[in-house]
Amino acid sequence: MTLITDATSTALHAALSGLAQRQRVTADNIANVNTPGFLAGRTDFESALSGALRNGDTPTVSGGTVVRSLEPTNTNGNNVNLDSETVIATETGLRYQLALNALDGKYSLLRTSLRTS
């Protein structure tokens, strides 16, 4: 296994992919906040990622699974809660930035070691 495709890098790439998918789903939810009958989407990539890491497997880079929320609906059949979606979007953005910083730190170490070799 090379330094660029080790388990840490692959896990970070998988997390970035899942977080990007969550951001797209959240944006879709917000865009449809007033659409009658629209059910909010939810993305889960953490289960597969943590399971792969726990089992010592190489995580797969995918967006995770998207399912429709089973939360109660309002009178028009829509269950998008704008406050919740805003919190999810903010949290997702912060987690994405954290994963990018971790990946950048890993690549920075690699660049430094290559320069001093």
User: For residues 88 and 98, what is the distance between their CA atoms, to the nearest angstrom?
Assistant: 15
Scanning the structure block, which residue is given the tokens 């889960």? 44
Give the residue with greater pLDDT, 38 vs 6.
Answer: 38
Any domain includes 85:
yes
Any domain includes 2:
no
Any domain includes 70:
yes
Any domain includes 101:
yes
Summary mean pLDDT of the chain: 90
Number of Cβ within a 10 Å radius of residue 49: 21
What's the number of domains the chain is made of? 1
Query: Does residue 49 surpass a pLDDT of 50?
Result: yes
User: For residues 25 and 23, what is the distance between their CA atoms, to the nearest angstrom?
Assistant: 5
pTM as predicted: 0.85
Quote the domain boundaries for residue 19.
7-116
Any domain includes 80:
yes
Any domain includes 13:
yes
**Mean pLDDT, to the nearest integer, of 3-7?**
70
